[in-house]
Amino acid sequence: MFYNLVKTPVIVKTGKHILGNMDRLLSEAHLVFPKKILITQENLYEAYKEELGTDTFYKVILVEGGQLSETNAIIDECKSEDVLMIAFGGGSVLDIVKYSASKMDKPYITVPSALSNDAIYSCVARLTENRKKISLGVQPPIGILVDIDVIKKSPRVLFMAGVADLVSNLSAIQDWLLAHNEIGEPINELAFMLAKESALPMLRYSEDDVFSDNMILDLVNGLVTSGLGMIISGNTRGTSGAEHLISHVIDEYFPNKSTIHGIQVGWAQTLIAKKYHNDPYKVNEFYKNVGLMKIFNEMIPWSEEEFENLIPYAKKIRNRYTIFDHL
């Protein structure tokens, strides 16, 4: 018999007081390592060092996050050690740890300080090299620990970016289905289902629910489930369609006008739905109700007319069939 072997986390835990109980949670999951190394940013270290119990770590490595060049120092610090790497921070910190750990084939755990994108559990790291963002394949974490109290203290715009990044799955799966129907691109039905079902629970929330325990839990579960779909399919098809191509174009060709990833993809999703009259999930209505339309208007420096000018770039930036190729 044949199976698709998938690397899934040993532990996924979302709750309160997680930071102060990491050792107990890891031990209960039988994740016992002789040494743990914490990689985080200085501001987070200062804000949470008491809860983290930093004396339990063999080393603490402070980083800025997001730069490919930073991974060299992390690898030098960790390569000769039998360690568990613990990444505590936003997507930029998680991604440099994901890449560094993968280069050394070492286990790591993600402990997000914000839920701005699917970095907590994915097979891709987005890092900056020579002022341009690049995507790199990585191994998934062996554990994910999310402290609700930490997430509630994160910037609201980062939380909303995570919501938009997850909900943009509903645009990506339409592109995947279109590519299947038009050019015969294969669909992994399980990955397709996970990409879709991970996003749908978000649609029940409004602006008054932001940072509620239930919305945080659904966002964590959605990002993890979405990441699992990527790992099962071995690609990002279910989570990255035309809306992500627009974001990549902005990052690569117009970095001075780029902003937070999730905000860019959510904005692109709204205009794609409007331009092609294709919004079966009423995402634009949701974005208005949850307050994201206001954020798009405040943070996106592109007009609808300028969006049109980005489409030719999007069609060339990656070999991926989307609605842009169809019409």
pLDDT, one tens digit per residue, over 20-31 is: 999 999 999 999
Q: How far apart are the first and last CA of the chain?
A: 43
CATH number of 11-152: 3.40.50.1970
For the chain, residues with pLDDT lower than 50 are: none
Name the burial class of residue 32, with classes exposed (0-12), middle (13-18) and buried (19+) by CB atoms within 10 angstroms of its CB: exposed
What pLDDT digit, counting tens, does each position of 200-232 carry? 999 999 999 999 999 999 999 999 999 999 999
List Cβ neighbours of 284 (8 Å cut-off, separation of 6 or more).
270, 273, 274, 293
Structure-block tokens of residue 302: 């592109």
Q: What is the pLDDT of residue 128?
A: 85
Q: How far apart are CA 259 and CA 324, in angstroms?
A: 22
Q: Which residue type sits at 165?
A: D
**CATH number for domain 156-326, candidates 1.10.287.610, 2.60.40.10, 3.40.50.300, 1.20.1090.10:** 1.20.1090.10
How far apart, in whole angstroms, are the C-alpha atoms of residue 150 and residue 146?
8
The residue type at 223: L
Maximal C-alpha separation, the chain = 59
How high is the pLDDT of residue 126?
Answer: 86
Using an 8 Å Cβ cutoff, are 10 and 29 in contact? Answer: yes
So what's the pLDDT on residue 55?
86
How do the domains of the chain map onto residue ranges? 11-152, 156-326
- One-letter amino acid for residue 207 of the chain: E
Q: Please answer whether residues 178 and 133 qualify as being in contact, where contact means their C-beta atoms are separated by less than 8 angstroms.
A: no
* DSSP annotation of 211: T
Q: Are 291 and 207 in contact (CB under 8 A)?
A: yes
Size of the chain in residues: 327
pLDDT the model gives residue 1: 60
DSSP 8-state assignment for residue 236: S
Spatial CA neighbour of 27 closest among 7, 13, 38, 45 = 13
pLDDT at 77: 87
φ and ψ at residue 86, rounded to 5 degrees: -120, 115
Q: How many CB atoms lie within 10 A of CB 106?
A: 21
Which pLDDT value is given to residue 135? 85
Report if pTM > 0.85. yes
Is residue 121 helix, strand or coil? Answer: coil
116: helix, strand or coil: coil
Separation CA 41–CA 92 (nearest Å): 10
Supply the pLDDT for residue 31.
92
List, in order, residues 6 or more apart from 218 with CB less than 8 Å away: 201, 202, 205
d(C-alpha 187, C-alpha 2), whole Å: 19
